[in-house]
A = this chain, B = another copy of it.
Amino acid sequence: MARTQGSHSEITRPRVRAAALKLFAEHGYAAVSMRQIAREVGLQAGALYNYTPDKQDLLFSLMKAHMDELLAACSERVSQGDAMARLRAFVDFHITFHMGRADEIFIAYMELRNLTPENFETIEALRRSYENHLEAILAAGLSEGIFDVPDSKVTTLAVIAMLTGITTWYRPDGRLSPEEVSELYWNMVRKVVGA
């Protein structure tokens, strides 16, 4: 039997995080007050501090959790086969992973400047690590002789920007299915790397 006291916390904590995520994505970190978050969960503002030391840590821990999940899922799903297979897997992974996480992406890209310098460095390092994953694929394809890119760093950034841009317009009830989007972008990425 779980303790009654503990179980309350285990239920409320995720709700606090979910509310913060939703509100930060909708209005921006700086524009959201602790009172708003509390109201969304059905608490008083003071009660939030049982779940987070402060507002900054709430933002940081949401971003950190997102980046950790991203890197873990990427490593798991993009590691098999030659450079071509891995590039295909990366494109598909990036698109599908991001489609279900519109709020997280929004925050991860928009709220970097609201992190303290130390927290920023942590997130930035994780972001670079993700970029390196793609760049390693491009480098492998180059040495295998199946890709043709004049500058692998710039190509990496261009491809990620292109793919991440999907989140600004994709809607689940829109004209294109996730599979069609993935197919269209894979076609473009394939051309960009000269494969």
Q: Which residues of A contact B (CB under 8 A)?
A: 26-31, 110, 113-114, 150-151, 154-155, 157-162, 164-166, 168-169, 176, 181, 184-185, 187-188, 191-192, 194
Closest Cβ of chain B: how far from A3's Cβ, in Å?
Answer: 40
A-B contact pairs, 27 of them (CB 8 A): A27-B30, A27-B114, A28-B30, A30-B30, A110-B110, A150-B184, A150-B187, A151-B184, A154-B176, A154-B181, A154-B185, A157-B168, A157-B169, A158-B165, A160-B165, A161-B161, A161-B164, A161-B165, A161-B166, A161-B168, A162-B162, A164-B165, A165-B165, A188-B192, A191-B191, A191-B192, A192-B192
Chain B contacts for A162, CB-based, 8 A: 158-159, 161-162, 165
Closest to A149 in B: B188
CA of A131 to CA of B154, assembled, Å: 23
List the 7 closest pairs (A to B, CB-CB), nearest first.
A161-B165, A30-B31, A30-B30, A191-B191, A162-B162, A158-B162, A188-B192
Say whether chain A's binding surface is mostly helix, strand, loop, or mixed: helix
Closest to A26 in B: B113
> In the complex, which of the residues B28, B169, B176, B192 contacts A113, with contact meaning CB atoms closer than 8 Å?
B28
Chain B contacts for A114, CB-based, 8 A: 27-28, 31
Chain B contacts for A169, CB-based, 8 A: 157
Chain B contacts for A30, CB-based, 8 A: 27-31
**Which of A29, A154, A166 counts the most B-chain CB atoms under 10 A from its CB?**
A154
Closest Cβ of chain B: how far from A88's Cβ, in Å?
Answer: 17
Closest to A157 in B: B169
Q: Are A154 and B184 in contact (CB under 8 A)?
A: yes
Closest Cβ of chain B: how far from A90's Cβ, in Å?
Answer: 16
Chain B contacts for A185, CB-based, 8 A: 154, 158
